[in-house]
Amino acid sequence: MRRERLEMSKKKLHTLREDLLAELRAKNAEAAAMIDEGVPDIADQGLTENIKGFLHLLGDAKREEILEIDEALDRIRDGSYGSCLRCGDEIDIERLQLLPHTRYCVSCKGILEKEARIKAGPGVGTL
Ligand SMILES: [Zn+2]
């Protein structure tokens, strides 16, 4: 991959990372405020727990994304950035521009998603 492409991806990844961190911090503050506003009675206790759970899940997704960004930055450093982690082919430039932290090319991503759906589908655990 050309050097200026790499630099562009690097810049994008850093920006994306900062955005995600800011979002995560904002969500945490929001959650803290929601919970700090107090629980008027026992019935609302469950609701607060739900909010906490939801924000936790949301936070996990963001954290996962930040992790992917860090991995992509590592790959830029070691020179493997832009290659699919599954088949080793070069990932489309357009795909990288849209998703600079992607690990896979479009076709591998499709296969992996299909596999995940099959794994999550009914009948799992009976085999
Ligand atoms: Zn691939």
Band (10; pLDDT cuts 50, 70, 90): very high
- Is it the case that residue 83 has pLDDT exceeding 90? yes
- Is it the case that residue 17 has pLDDT exceeding 80? yes
Fold for 3-120, please state it: Four Helix Bundle (Hemerythrin (Met), subunit A) (1.20.120)
Using a CB cutoff of 5 Å, list residues around ligand 1, an ion.
84, 86-87, 105, 108
Q: Answer with the residue of higher pLDDT: 43 or 11.
A: 11
Distance 28 CA to ligand 1 centre (A): 36
Distance 82 CA to ligand 1 centre (A): 11
Distance 84 CA to ligand 1 centre (A): 5
Could you write out the three-class secondary structure of the chain? CCHHHHHHHHHHHHHHHHHHHHHHHHHHHHHHHHHHCCCCCHHHHHHHHHHHHHHHHHHHHHHHHHHHHHHHHHHHHHCCCCECCCCCCECCHHHHHHCCCCCCCHHHHHHHHHHHHHHHCCCCCCC
Domains in the chain: boundaries = 3-120
For 40-79, the pLDDT digits (tens) are 555 566 777 777 787 777 778 888 899 999 999 999 999 9
